C-alpha cells in the first residue's frame, strides 16, 4: 500500500481557527507551521495548513507582582486546516470524547451531514466493532454512497485501504499548536481535568459576575483576552491576583452555577455544532483545558437570558423624551451591564448600562465610571439629560448623560 492521500481545497469557514498571540511568538509560530507543511510534503501530502496574520491592537497590562504597567503587542493568526480525502472517504469530523459523549469538530459541511446521524457509542469503532477507551474518534463519509462510519484512529488505514501518514492526521489538529502559545501551560502533555462547576465559578468571578465578560468578538475588536483565556491563565498563574480570584470563586453560591446551567438547558439548542458541544460539556463533571473556552461561553448565554427576563416583554417604539430634555424620577430595571476598561487607562472603567423603564422605554447610559448594578436590579433614574435619540437594531433607544441612578 502506498501513501496516496489526495486532498481537496482547504476550508476557510468552519475549520478556520483564529487566535491572538504575543507578537514575539510569531517567528516561532510560523516556523512550526512551515515545518508541519514540510513534513506533510515529504510524506507526499499536497495539502497545507494555511496561515495568515494581521496586527492586533496593543493592550496595557499590569504586572501582577509589581503593579507596574506595560504595553503588550499582539498578532492575530488564522489557520485553515485541510479536508482529508482517504480514498473514497472524506474525513468529515473528529470526535473529542468526554464523559458525557463526544464533542464534534466538523469539517466543511460535516455538521449538516451528521445532523440525522444515529450516533453510535462514542468509544465504538465501527470497523472492528470494538469499544475502547479512546480520546478521539474519526467520522468518515463515503463520497459515492454517503455512508457514514465512526472509526478509531488505529483502524482508519484498514477501513479506507489508504495508508494514513500520521503527519496528515496531525494537520487536522492544527489548533493544538496554539495551546502551548496561549498558556505556556506547565501541564501541557498531561492535560488536567478541572471540575466543570469550578471553571464556571471562576469564569463568573473573573468576569465580575458577567459584567466584564469578554467574548471572542470583543477580544478581536479590542485586543483584550477572552474570559476563557483569562480563566486558563488563572489556572496556571501563581500570582496574588489569581489566588484572590480563585478563592473568591470558591464562594460563588451553587445556585448561581445552577442558574447558568439551567439557561443552557432551556435556551441552547443542539442544532448547531456550538450548541451541541456546549450542551454536552455543561453536562460533564470535568473539563480539560482545551474545552474551557467552550464552557466559559455559557456565561454569555446566561447574561442573554437574564437580560431577556429583566426586560420582560417588548419595548415601546418611542423615546422617553427628546434630545436635550431632562428626565427625572424614572423607575426602571437594569437589562444590561457591561464594564470595560477605558482605552489606554487600565485603571479607569466605563460602564455601559441598559435600562428598561417600567412603562417600556429603552434607556442607555455610557457612564465613565464603575457602577455597581446587576441585570434584573430595580432602580430609579433620579435625574438625567437626553444626549441623543437613536434607532438601533429596530429599537428606539434614548441615550442619556449626566445621570444619577439610585438602586430601589
Ligand atoms: Zn477499530
Q: What is the CATH number of the domain that holds 364?
A: 2.40.50.140
Q: What is the pLDDT of residue 4?
A: 36
What does 233-296 look like in DSSP terms, one character per residue?
A: HHHH--SHHHHHHHHHHHTS-HHHHHHHHHHHHHH--SSSHHHHHHHHHHT-SEEEGGGHHHHH
Give the Å distance between the CA of 150 and the centre of ligand 1: 9
Considering the domain architecture, whether residues 79 and 101 belong to the same structural domain is answered as no
3-class DSSP assignment, residue 46: coil
Q: Give the range of the structural domain holding residue 22, as residue numbers without chain letter.
A: 6-84
Strand arrangement of the beta sheet that strand 50-62 belongs to: 16-22, 69-80, 50-62
Q: What is the pLDDT of residue 41?
A: 79
Closest CA to 177 of 8, 51, 38, 47: 51
Contacting residues for 201 by C-beta, under 8 A, at least 6 apart:
249, 250, 252, 256, 257
Considering the domain architecture, whether residues 67 and 52 belong to the same structural domain is answered as yes
- Distance from C-alpha of 289 to C-alpha of 72, rounded to nearest angstrom: 24
Are 206 and 231 in contact by the 8 Å Cβ rule? The answer is: yes
Considering the domain architecture, whether residues 218 and 296 belong to the same structural domain is answered as yes
Distances from the Cα of 342 to the Cα of 58, 227, 351, 399, angstroms: 13, 17, 9, 19
Q: Which of 130, 153, 176 is the last residue of a domain?
A: 153
Considering the domain architecture, whether residues 199 and 297 belong to the same structural domain is answered as yes
Which residue has 474518534 as its cell numbers? 137
Q: Is the pTM value of this prediction over 0.75? A: yes
Give the Å distance between the CA of 156 and the centre of ligand 1: 8
- Distance from C-alpha of 289 to C-alpha of 271, rounded to nearest angstrom: 25
Closest CA to 379 of 316, 336, 347, 350: 336
Give the Å distance between the CA of 91 and the centre of ligand 1: 16
Q: What is the pLDDT of residue 216?
A: 77
Considering the domain architecture, whether residues 104 and 140 belong to the same structural domain is answered as yes
Give the Å distance between the CA of 11 and the centre of ligand 1: 28
Considering the domain architecture, whether residues 210 and 237 belong to the same structural domain is answered as yes
Please give the grid coordinates belonging to residue 225.
483576552
CA atoms in the 13 A half-sphere facing the CB of 313: 9
Closest CA to 152 of 100, 102, 83: 102
**Rg, C-alpha atoms of the chain:** 25
DSSP state of 121: P
101 lies in a domain?
yes
Considering the domain architecture, whether residues 200 and 300 belong to the same structural domain is answered as yes
Give the Å distance between the CA of 312 and the centre of ligand 1: 53
216 lies in a domain?
yes
Q: Which of 309, 335, 353 is the last residue of a domain?
A: 309
Relative to beta strand 89-98, strand 148-151 is unpaired
Are 64 and 241 in contact by the 8 Å Cβ rule? The answer is: yes
Considering the domain architecture, whether residues 37 and 148 belong to the same structural domain is answered as no
Residues lining ion ligand 1 (Cβ < 5 A) are 125, 127-128, 152, 155
213 lies in a domain?
yes
3-class DSSP assignment, residue 127: coil
Rounded to 10 degrees, the C-alpha dihedral 223/236/64/57 comes to: -10
Q: What is the pLDDT of residue 348?
A: 80
Q: Which of 275, 309, 343 is the last residue of a domain?
A: 309
Q: What is the pLDDT of residue 62?
A: 64
Considering the domain architecture, whether residues 222 and 246 belong to the same structural domain is answered as yes
Please give the grid coordinates belonging to residue 320.
422617553
Give the Å distance between the CA of 105 and the centre of ligand 1: 20
Rounded to 10 degrees, the C-alpha dihedral 379/385/387/393 comes to: 30
Return per-residue pLDDT of the chain as tens, 408 residues.
333 333 333 333 335 677 777 788 888 888 888 887 887 777 776 777 888 898 887 777 666 567 677 787 888 888 877 777 788 888 889 898 998 999 998 887 888 899 889 999 999 999 999 998 888 899 999 989 999 999 998 898 899 888 776 666 666 655 555 554 444 333 444 567 899 999 999 999 999 999 999 987 777 666 678 899 889 888 887 788 888 899 999 999 999 999 999 999 999 999 889 999 999 999 999 998 888 989 999 999 999 999 999 998 889 999 999 999 999 999 999 999 999 877 655 568 889 999 999 999 999 999 989 999 999 999 999 999 999 999 888 889 999 999 999 998
Please give the grid coordinates belonging to residue 306.
437574564
Considering the domain architecture, whether residues 112 and 130 belong to the same structural domain is answered as yes
Give the Å distance between the CA of 126 and the centre of ligand 1: 6
Considering the domain architecture, whether residues 110 and 146 belong to the same structural domain is answered as yes
Name the domain count of the chain.
Answer: 4
Considering the domain architecture, whether residues 215 and 285 belong to the same structural domain is answered as yes
Amino acid at each position: 500500500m502506498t501513501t496516496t492521500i489526495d486532498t481537496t481545497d482547504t476550508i476557510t469557514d468552519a475549520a478556520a481557527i483564529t487566535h491572538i498571540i504575543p507578537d514575539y511568538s510569531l517567528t516561532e509560530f510560523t516556523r512550526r507551521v512551515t515545518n508541519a507543511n514540510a513534513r506533510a510534503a515529504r510524506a507526499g501530502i499536497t495539502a497545507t495548513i494555511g496561515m495568515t496574520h494581521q496586527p492586533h491592537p496593543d493592550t496595557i497590562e499590569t504586572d501582577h507582582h509589581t503593579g507596574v504597567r506595560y504595553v503588550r503587542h499582539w498578532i492575530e493568526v488564522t489557520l485553515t486546516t485541510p479536508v482529508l480525502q482517504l480514498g473514497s472517504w472524506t474525513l468529515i469530523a473528529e470526535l473529542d470524547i468526554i464523559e458525557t459523549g463526544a464533542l464534534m469538530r466538523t469539517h466543511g459541511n460535516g455538521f449538516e451531514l451528521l445532523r440525522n446521524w444515529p450516533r453510535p457509542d462514542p468509544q465504538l469503532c465501527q470497523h472492528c466493532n470494538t469499544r475502547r477507551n479512546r480520546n478521539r474518534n474519526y467520522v468518515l463519509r463515503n463520497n459515492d454512497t454517503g455512508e457514514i462510519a465512526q472509526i478509531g484512529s488505529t483502524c482508519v488505514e484498514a477501513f479506507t485501504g489508504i495508508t494514513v501518514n500520521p503527519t496528515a492526521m496531525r494537520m487536522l489538529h492544527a489548533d493544538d499548536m496554539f495551546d502551548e502559545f496561549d498558556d505556556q501551560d506547565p501541564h501541557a502533555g498531561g492535560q488536567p481535568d478541572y471540575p466543570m462547576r469550578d471553571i464556571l465559578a471562576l469564569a463568573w468571578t473573573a468576569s465580575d459576575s458577567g459584567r466584564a465578560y469578554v467574548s471572542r468578538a470583543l477580544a478581536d475588536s479590542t485586543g483584550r483576552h477572552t474570559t476563557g483565556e483569562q480563566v486558563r491563565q488563572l489556572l496556571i498563574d501563581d500570582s496574588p491576583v489569581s489566588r484572590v480570584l480563585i478563592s473568591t470563586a470558591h464562594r460563588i453560591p451553587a445556585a448561581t452555577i445552577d442558574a447558568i446551567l439551567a439557561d443552557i438547558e432551556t435556551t441552547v439548542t443542539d442544532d448547531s455544532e456550538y450548541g451541541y458541544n456546549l450542551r454536552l460539556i455543561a453536562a460533564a463533571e470535568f473539563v480539560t483545558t482545551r474545552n474551557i473556552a467552550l464552557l466559559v461561553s455559557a456565561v454569555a448565554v446566561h447574561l442573554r437570558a437574564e437580560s431577556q427576563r429583566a426586560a420582560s416583554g417588548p419595548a415601546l417604539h418611542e423615546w422617553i423624551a427628546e434630545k436635550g430634555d431632562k428626565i427625572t424620577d424614572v423607575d426602571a430595571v437594569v437589562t444590561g451591564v457591561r464594564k470595560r476598561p477605558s482605552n489606554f487607562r487600565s485603571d479607569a472603567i466605563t460602564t455601559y448600562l441598559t435600562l428598561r423603564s417600567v412603562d417600556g422605554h429603552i434607556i442607555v447610559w455610557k457612564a465613565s465610571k464603575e457602577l455597581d448594578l446587576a441585570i434584573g436590579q430595580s432602580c430609579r433614574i433620579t435625574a438625567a439629560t437626553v444626549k441623543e435619540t437613536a434607532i438601533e437594531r429596530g429599537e428606539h433607544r434614548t441615550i442619556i448623560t449626566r445621570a444619577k441612578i439610585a438602586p430601589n
